[in-house]
Structure 1
Amino acid sequence: MSAQTSCTDVPAEIGAWFEGRGWRIRRHQFAMLDKARAGCDALLVADTGAGKTLAGFLPTLCDFAPSALTGAPPPEGLHTLYVSPLKALAHDVKRNLLMPVEEMGLPIRVETRSGDTSSDAKKRQREKPPHVLLTTPESLSLLLSYPESFALFKGLKRIVIDEVHAFATGKRGDLLSLSLARLHAIAPGARRAALSATLADPRSFQEWLAPQGADGTGEILAADLVLGEKGAEPDVEILLPIEERVPWGGHAGRWAVGQLYEAIKANRTTLVFTNTRFLAEFIFQCLWEANEDKLPIGVHHGSLSKEARRKVEDAMAAGELRALVCTASLDLGVDWGDIDLVVQMGAPKGSSRLLQRIGRAGHRLDARSRAVLVPGNRFEFLEAMAAKDAVDEGQRDGEEFRPGGLDVLAQHVMACACAGPFHEDDLLAEIRTSLAYAWLGKEEFARVLSFVESGGYALRAYDKFKRIVRDRKGVWRLAHPNQAQRHRMNAGIIVDSEMLAVRFRNGRSLGKVEERFAAQLSPGDTFFFAGMSLEVESVKDMDVIVRAAKKSATIPSYGGLRLPLTTHLAERVQAMLTDRAGWARFPDDVREWLEMQDYRSRLPAPGELLVESFPHGGKHYSAYYTFEGWNANQSLGMLITRRMEDRGLLPGGFVANDYCLAVWGLKPVRDPAPLLSPDILTHEFVDWVTESHLLRRAFREVAVISGLVERQHPGRKKTGKQVTFSTDLIYDVLRKYEPDHVLLEAAWADARARMTDVGRLADLLERSERQLVHVELDRVSPLAVPVMTMIGREAVPQGAVDDELLIEAEGLVAEAMRIAPGEGAEREEEN
């Protein structure tokens, strides 16, 4: 790695540009240039604001510098491909890349390609590509499905993957890894670079990035690692109520709106992050009601129209907004240097995610990023403290890699067939250069091909599922040319609930709401969306026609998975509970909460599973303090209630948050151990998943991703109900006649790994065998209050009922925190 800090190793134009701005080329930027010149793939891990994107593009800029060309014309065709997880990030990078290109006078054409790009522009890009193309994994896969892709990418020199941690471990990463395998076959000389600020395990990403099998030894290859210069430590503060107490329940942090508004007034530009689209609209509405000074405040999330998103992004880039409320749609790499404060509403759920969001403030390596965390309740306060400590200590977390999905592979096979005929063995060898699919054998690949060919054994009698055919020479090709159009209309990895467009009568689009929400609307109803109060005029076909309204309290909620609490953060929270000396830094009311819990019951120690049982309101409750996240707790609740029913304990239901599961019934649980034995994950787990909606939902997603069920046809689009009906029908047929179908296997993999967090659930049950502590109480404990406030409210969108939750919590709090007559004397005797 070069330690050079001068500009002598770069073309004169580039060196002069840096010097003219008073900048220096940083060590890691030189190192990335050295790796490119040496023909090496490289992963750059550097703090936010360290110039990672410029480091990724520096070799490209050098190749196009006039002094480096020495009078020769600039290279023709596509030179560099940039892949990002977000359309907004690609748009922002284009804006920031064009500035040095224009100021240096470099002959480089830069364009973006995403779902927002017009069809005319996409066609022109295939025929006359720019030198630098900025795109997303889905758009790249579609581009590779055209016959022109072989000529288009033949001269590719460089691939830059930004914010690689955000999608490499999921299905979008599977799709990108398959696209990289195809690019390696077309342009084996193209070098890969990946960029990230938040990696807990860089080695696994180095291996994912490198093309496997390139050296012929069969060993796992890895890209080179480049570490960036360390930046300034972030300044993170946890906001607390000025006069009130930290709330017992709720998630929205509505209590902080007044203080948040004052912070917005005190800063130039504030970025307010929320964890859901509903909360983005909700917090924006709360801020707008408090906005006595008429400050320019915007809202941004993925369901808004392209025009609305671009308008807000451009306004932020121009410094025209004082605050912007957003979701994860803006937490990756967006470079707005004038942001001086980031606010996280609710729990961050992971130290890496928090660090990424904090880095939007300042966005300079030598400037401290300022952030304020707003906990929604007391457990979220502990989580915020844990995340802050992890950031201060430089600890990161993240998801682990797993084998590539078979549904994604089926989609890729179809894309390859659209690009041109292929030989089975050649395509398999190409696919196996991707680490995600290096495990793929001939037999498994043959199953996938059989599925793409005809839908599989049980469906091959239906012509609608015939997509590819094999000729006498063993070459696979499309069954009919129109299959290419059908594939491109339906391909993709993100399977949201079906959406209806929200439009004014003049045709202006505001964005999209889910079909299930739109189905509840009638003319005259009002709702809040895109920062506006709207009245429904009509719901027609796939559109909700609206007009401006004076006032509305209803906000669309969206489905989708909750952000998972990382194992790393969960362990930190549990360690805090038993670190009594550390309680001194907590607010008085939080410390009192824990002290009373310690007095009345006990606190769950690391490695221990605490279960409390107590009566309340004529029912018997058990609280399981798992700290394994909402998904695992939901699954555990389902399984425990089934066992309670089998044992005659008359279960009534359960509620869960990330930290605790509360189950109630008409009879008390005297011994929870039999309800938690690990064998629950064998037959009972299988039976529950098979009977529940989880596997059907997982099958719906893999059926759409794999192309078995199409959402769009030329001139029409299926509704969500039609897609669900189709997938449910096929699911029942396959379960009966072909239970080993490749898509059922893929659905099971999803249901186990993603929807139920079965790995964390297994760890929890194993822990319960080793160290289960059961405490029987005469009433609700202080630690159980946050989850108990959720009973009867679990189906209501987060944030909508925070005030009601606080009112309802008062009775529980009084019960949990009071000391019964004689209890103090009894405790003294015990001590």
Structure 2
Amino acid sequence: MELPKPSIPPEISAWFAARDWRIRRHQSEMLAASQAGQHAMLVADTGAGKTLAGFLPTLAAFCPSTLAGDAPPEGLHTLYVSPLKALAHDVQRNLLTPVEEMGLDLRIETRSGDTPSDRKKRQRSRPPHVLLTTPESLSLLLSFPDSFELFKGLKRVVVDEIHAFATQKRGDILALALSRLQAIAPELQRVGLSATVASPEAFREWLAPWGDIDSVALVEGEKGAEPEVEILLPEEERVPWGGHAATWAIPQLYERIRENRTTLVFTNTRFLAEYIFQQLWDANEDNLPIGIHHGSLSKEGRRKVEGAMARGELRALVCTASLDLGVDWGDIDLVVQMGAPKGSSRLLQRIGRANHRLDQPSRALLVPGNRFEFLEAMAAKQAVDEGKRDGEDFRPGTLDVLAQHVMACACAAPFEEKALLAEVRSSLAYSWVDEAVWERVLNFVATGGYALKAYDKFKRITRDREGVWRLTHPEQAQRHRMNAGIIVDSEMLNVRFRNGRSLGKVEERFAASLSPGDTFQFSGLNLEVEQLKDMELVVRASTKAAMIPSYGGLRLPLTTHLADRVRALLVDRPGWASFPDDVREWLEVQDWRSQLPGPDNLLVESFPHGAREYTVYYTFTGWNANQSLGMLITKRMEDLGLMPGGFVANDYSLAVWGLKPVEDPAALLSPTILQDEFIDWVQDSYLLRRAFREVAVIGGLVERQHPGKRKSGKQVTFSTDLIYDVLKKYEPDHVLMEAAWADARAKLTDIARLADLLDTAAERIEHVQLERVSPLAVPVMVMIGREAVPQGAADEELLLEAESLAGAAMEVDLPGVVED
């Protein structure tokens, strides 16, 4: 759609001119869309001024020339929703500059779980003009009776980095919140911002009320300079066979840090962030200021590091996805990705942290941990060079999130069920909900469901004689607000010094393994445990060698787009000429001894090793799907009398072993395995219990927090397991059992990719029987015996085993075949 030319206030034009900037086309079009009364979706490269474009209509509304002598409007004008707390604080810092320099009477504040309670209370009674928040905090705001007064004058909602949560449960709760806001303020304009969406049309439809895509203007940003991506390779050693930490690169990485003003080092896990930080600090002969940032560190620690970066005081910062999105530190001149990028869109997002200027290329360094990760880095680099993006598909909104939203609405005010259903269905995520599903959700919130309705503790809402739903007791509102949320991490314990200074949090299961006198590394410090007291780990500084806490979060999935590119690289023999000698040799010997997995087939190799018979499946479906396949195959092997012993998996392949050889892998891979066998396996495994634990917390069936007391992780698990057993026996079609199954299929087992793999296997399986291990099998075989060893931990016996495997595969002795 063609947008009219906007009216740009002179204050804004003068501010751009004073900085020797021009108002970019997409910024002007975002202002035009607002002035035309339209919703808008902006897709623009990092550094294109997306955030300013999203806020330009708000700034224009508060310009003196626009107000024409009138006082600035009171009340909340613009709501900004961000996936990260750090991003909200960064946006506040960057918005204050134009506001102050234009002399606008515009108050901007943030609100998140870190905001003090007195400020939260004041924000509801005397709100700022602009509030920067997260989906969870917005949902909580909507649970208060005064939310109708707070939001009735709201003019705009800006959803930043919309790709980061629209396809997930956080997107579900945001979609429901947007529907409620639109009902409270019908003239509200919705704005979505992103740099890395593969399908802008899909996000336009998600953003639009009632899925009316034509009501959302699509604005595409001006193209910026192409990013410069380099893959770091060992100077003298060979590319390792296994491992993910890429510790071989620390000396070279340190030199890059010395050469640049500021370097941002991304890792894929909190464990690796701590581990790489410690490795860099050990190499830091010049005592350069290097920091660390991840989601488990204390608020004070994160803010301190963010401030130091903003002031240009750090030479390097090691971080996780906690800084993936939108943070604008213009002095970063190099971004490093340690280990595999897992997706081209994620990589583009991280690369965009460098320079953050549209007319200058962002510089990125990819550091593969092993040979498959080298191929993945090559595939990601090609995708970035071609401007190709990937992303998750949209799926229906989940029922546990819907139940939480219903409870939030009841806390705000009594509701009529047909009116609330219409409001809920106005979001694309929940447009599928019919009256039968709606009745089931309401009955669950009201009674806990058929099997639990005899227990008063599950009675949260009730319907009066007029058919209006309301809380059973006012205290239900407090209980909801204390426990609402979408992110259900493993139970965390606070880590603090005896003087009370908090360092952050570690998982309860890790803390439970510690005793007084034990040491561990956290927040870049060596710490010694003094005591475990009242859900807190009291520590003191230590000089002893220490272990690093591991975390049980989900792994970043390898995207289908990137997996397909890796498979294409494997069969592009002319392209091997650009690979390092050892990687090229690895593929050439594989091609000679066996064959290579192509884009359109499934390669399966069988060979003896030691006293076992091994079968390796080259699936490229990601860790979750490979884990599921391993469970199903070993179960079917057992039924066939093949005496399975176990399996290991990575993103690319699955190795299964037993006492008898697999003669016909096709019999183990028939698509029928996803029928009764899959259901039986999931029901008998921990997966469905784990999924139920999460949906029970999100749906409000089990509460983690009570006034003055918080349940431990063990207590929550005990409670959810008891309820799970009751529902499995007496009400298997319960709303939360259905939600748990949806999670188990999509998130924990990745059944969609598994189904695609089995369809391929049924038609195009290639089974190669070998006398010994193949070169391509070595990376997954090296993992055997080390599944429980944290990434980064070295083990001499495993080094020797890897050398033996590689020697058998390549017929030569190759030193240094595995690291970390």
TM exceeding 0.5 = yes
Q: 1:129 aligns with which of 127, 130, 133?
A: 127
DSSP 3-state at the match of 1:702: helix
Please tell me whether residue 534 in structure 1 is matched to residue 532 in structure 2.
no
Letter in 1 for 2:140: L
Aligned with residue 350 of structure 2, among 345, 357, 361: 357
Match of 1:782 in 2: 775
Q: 2:593 aligns to what?
A: 600
Q: How many residues align?
A: 813
Query: Deviations 1:512-561 (Å, cap 9, x if unpaired)?
Result: 00000000111000000001000000001210000000133300000011
Note if 1:420 corresponds to 2:413.
Answer: yes
Corresponding residue to 1:298 among 284, 287, 291: 291
Superposed counterparts of 1:553-592, under 5 Å: 553-592=546-585
The question of 1:257 aligning with 2:224 is answered no
| Deviation of 1:573 (Å) | 0.2
Task: Tell whether 2:376 aligns with 1:383.
Answer: yes
TM-score, normalization: structure 1? Answer: 0.97
What secondary structure, in the 3-state scheme, does the structure 2 residue paired with 1:212 have? Answer: helix
Question: Counterpart in 2 of 1:502?
Answer: 495
Partner residue, 1:662: 655
Measure the CA separation in 2 of the matches of 1:449 and 1:426: 13
Cα distance change, pair 804–318 in 1 and its aligned pair in 2 (3 A): farther
Which position in structure 2 is the counterpart of 1:189? 187
Taking the aligned partners of 1:418 and 1:722, their CA distance within structure 2 comes to 26
Q: In structure 1, what is the equivalent of residue 740 of structure 2?
A: 747
Match among 36, 39, 49 for residue 38 of structure 1 = 36
CA shift in 2, pair 1:470/1:3, >3 Å: closer
Q: Structure 1: which 5+ runs fail to align?
A: 214-218, 821-831
* 8 A contact 2:704–2:716 mirrored in 1: yes
Counterpart residue number, 1:84 = 82
1:804 CA drift (Å):
6.3
CA positional deviation for 1:819: 8.0
Amino acid at match of 1:123: K
CA distance in 1 between counterparts of 2:403 and 2:507 reads: 27
Which one of the candidate residues 11, 14, 33 is aligned to 1:13? 11
**Structure 2 CA distance for aligned equivalents of residues 431 and 357 of structure 1:** 34
Report Cα offsets for 1:45-76 as digits up to 9, x if no partner. 00000000000000000000011111100011
Q: Secondary structure at the match of 1:725?
A: helix
Q: Which segment is superposed worse, 667-676 or 8-17?
A: 8-17
SS in 1 for 2:256: helix
Cα RMSD (Å) of the superposition?
A: 1.3
Pick closer, same or farther for the CA change 1:14–1:654 going to 2, 3 Å.
same
| Aligned counterpart, 2:696 | 703
Rounded Cα–Cα distance in structure 1 between residues aligned with 2:412 and 2:4? 45
1:313 and 2:311 correspond: no
Question: Hey, what does 1:829 align to over in structure 2?
Answer: none
- 1:168 partner letter: A
Q: Judging changes above 3 Å, is the alpha-carbon distance between structure 1 residues 133 and 178 closer, same or farther for their aligned structure 2 residues?
A: same
Structure 2, unaligned runs of 5 or more? 814-820
Q: Does 1:74 align with 2:72?
A: yes
**Residue 441 of structure 2: aligned partner:** 448
Matched, 1:62 2:37: no
Matches within 5 A, 1:789-800: 789-800=782-793
Residue of structure 1 in register with 2:168 after alignment: 170
Q: Residue 269 of structure 1: which of 246, 262, 271 is its match? A: 262
1:161-196 Cα distance to aligned partner (Å, 9 max, x none): 000000000000000000000001000101011000
1:728 and 1:261 map into 2 onto residues whose CA distance is 48
The offset of 1:802, in angstroms, is 7.4
Q: Report if the CA contact (8 A) 1:4-1:27 is conserved.
A: no
Change over 3 Å in CA distance of 1:762–1:528 after alignment to 2? same
Q: Quote the Cα distance in structure 2 between the aligned partners of 1:32 and 1:222.
A: 14
Matches within 5 A, 1:241-256: 241-256=234-249
Matched with 1:97 is 95
2:132 is aligned with 1:139: no
Residue 402 of structure 1: which of 395, 404, 409 is its match?
Answer: 395
CA distance change for structure 1 residues 431 and 288 in 2, over 3 Å: closer, same or farther?
same
Q: Provide, for residues 312-343 of structure 1, a one-character-per-residue CA deviation record: whole Å limited to 9, x for no partner.
A: 00000000000000000001000000000000
Contact 1:250 1:805 in 2 (8 A): no
Q: Report if the CA contact (8 A) 2:3-2:32 is conserved.
A: no
Matches within 5 A, 1:108-127: 108-127=106-125
Q: What amino acid sits opposite 2:202 in the alignment?
A: S
Match of 1:236 among 220, 229, 237: 229
In the TM superposition, what whole-angstrom CA distance separates every residue of 1:676-721 from its partner, at most 9, and x where no partner exists?
A: 0000000000000000000000000000000000000001000000
* Partner of residue 817, structure 2: none
Residue 363 of structure 1 aligns with an amino acid whose one-letter code is H
Hey, what does 2:818 align to over in structure 1?
Answer: none
Q: What residue in structure 1 maps to residue 146 of structure 2?
A: 148
Please tell me the residue identity of whatever aligns with 1:160: V
Task: Read off the aligned partner of 2:649 and give its amino acid letter.
Answer: A
DSSP-derived class of the 2:209 partner: coil
> Which residue of structure 2 aligns with residue 826 of structure 1?
none
Q: Match of 1:536, as an amino acid?
A: V
Task: Choose the corresponding residue for 1:485, options 461, 474, 478.
Answer: 478
Report the secondary structure of 1:811's partner residue.
Answer: helix
1:808 Cα offset (Å): 3.1
C-alpha displacement of 1:105: 0.4
Q: Is the contact made by 2:204 and 2:213 (CA closer than 8 Å) also made in structure 1?
A: no
Q: Aligned AA for 2:461?
A: I
The answer to whether the Cα contact below 8 Å between 1:524 and 1:536 also exists between their aligned partners in 2 is yes
Matches within 5 A, 1:643-654: 643-654=636-647
1:3 deviates by 9.4
Contact 2:38-2:215 within 8 A present in 1 as well: no
Equivalents in 1 of 2:746, 2:797: separation in Å?
35
Distance 2:785 2:484 in 1: 39
The Cα offsets for residues 27-53 of structure 1, whole Å up to 9 and x where unpaired, read as 000000000000111110000000000
Distance 1:224 1:604 in 2: 44
CA contact (8 A) 1:250 1:802 kept: no
